[in-house]
Amino acid sequence: MGSKFFFLIIPAFPSSASVRATEYCPSPSQSRKRYECVPEPMKKTPDYINKRIRNRSAVKRFREKSKTKAKRQEDVKAHLISLTKFYDNELVRIKHSKQQLELLLYQHAAHKNIISQLNEILSLEAQARLQFQKQIASVQELSTSSIEHLVD
């Protein structure tokens, strides 16, 4: 097997404090703020220390807020997926009821007695519609509260 060699080239930086740090700390992208290396003596000043503490705190708050927002969006996504499945199931049920009613209509046109079957279908449909409306009301309440959390 061939061996691989890796060479690390380390540029020599002048140690003079008079040289601007921005010349040796280029940013990876022109759109971002150019990073300026802070000289070691300045890192020990109280102003710099306070600035770093505030910055770390701000970064921590930003990351927590981002995680919370992502979690809420995942919750809303899961809720909307379950709502879609619920609507699909309800659509299947309604199509089945429609087919039954069409069949009864054809039987009625053929002068068959369908009153008891029609009453049973209408009763079951009314119960299913009532349960559907209750579930929709609870889903709307959940989605309203989820959206309010996202807006906050």
Domain range summary for the chain, segments of one domain joined by +: 35-151
- The reported pLDDT for the residue numbered 53 is 95
- The reported pLDDT for the residue numbered 55 is 96
Closest by alpha carbon to 55, among 22, 74, 40, 33? Answer: 33
Q: What is the mean pLDDT of the chain?
A: 79
Gap between the Cα atoms of 72 and 25, Å rounded: 38
Please give the backbone phi and psi of residue 25, each rounded to the nearest 5 degrees, phi first: -125, 70
pTM: 0.49
* Cβ–Cβ < 8 Å for 146, 77: no
Which segments of the chain have a pLDDT < 50?
1-3, 5-8, 10-24
Token pair recorded at residue 4? 């691989």
Gap between the Cα atoms of 25 and 143, Å rounded: 48
